[in-house]
Amino acid sequence: MEYLTLEYNGDVAVVGLNRPQKRNAISDAFIEELNDVITEVEARAKAAVIHGHGPHFCAGLDLAEHVKKTPFEGVHGSRRWHEVFARIQRGKLPWFAALHGAVVGGGLELASSVHVRVADRTAFFALPEGQRGIFVGGGASVRSARLMGVSRMTDLMLTGRSVDADTAERWGIANYVVDAGEALAKAIELAKHAATNAEISTYAIIHALPRINDMGSEDGLFVESFIASFTATSPEAEARLNAFLSKKAGKVTNPNG
């Protein structure tokens, strides 16, 4: 592979963005390689982690390539990003991101497509497209805006400001904040936990929650009741519930000690 690395840590696939000399900027070839990696990972792993090699997670779109495109080529490129990132967001596996350094533009769009984001304290987040004379094209207007809210995204795009990891956590862009250099280990730890979940439950979480979020409240509650009933009657759910009732499964831990 030219743009990515792929390793396995037990049932967890660890995917690395590997263009450090370009701050892991995303090109068309990069997207196609990511698409191939997703196919392989879905066949072999139960969870996946994505991270960046070098000092940054991803500084966004490869502008040198983008500036040479016609408007229609740009549309096709944008739609391909949407297609490939959707395979992460609504695929077979839970995906976790380990974020450090720049999580900017297309890098934030990629991070927004995963299910859980771990940022270390070197991470900073921005959507500078407004200053480049362009608009977001990798899904930020849907995915990133749903995480942080339209008002905050508008602020980022109009002012060009960047925010730190603690702010990103408050805004919902990051789920966890850890010390510098610890994001990848934490993301792998979380992915290993997710890999032990019942497959049907994980699939329902990945696919149902975002769809219910897009529904009206009564429609969402109606769909929830069917999913809850369906998952609870699976053989794996029955075995896990019986294990809990017989005190063979761990209880929920109290974070307060």
Residues in the chain: 257
Helix (H, G, I), strand (E, B) or coil at 133: coil
How far from 130 is each of 15, 87, 257, CA to CA, in Å? 30, 27, 46
C-beta separation of 122 from 100 below 8 A: yes
Type of residue at 241: L
Catalytic residue among 32, 33, 109, 238: 109
For residues 88 and 104, give the distance between their C-alpha atoms in angstroms, rounded to a whole number.
Answer: 19
For residues 129 and 127, give the distance between their C-alpha atoms in angstroms, rounded to a whole number.
Answer: 6
Task: Please confirm, yes or no, whether 129 is among the known catalytic residues.
Answer: yes
Q: 95, 98, 104: which is closest to 130 by C-alpha? A: 104
| Angle ∠(77,78,79) on CA atoms, nearest 5 | 95
| 17: β partners | 4, 52
Catalytic residue among 33, 65, 129, 218: 129
| Burial (Cβ within 10 Å: 0-12, 13-18, ≥19) of residue 173 | buried
List, by residue number, the catalytic residues: 109, 129
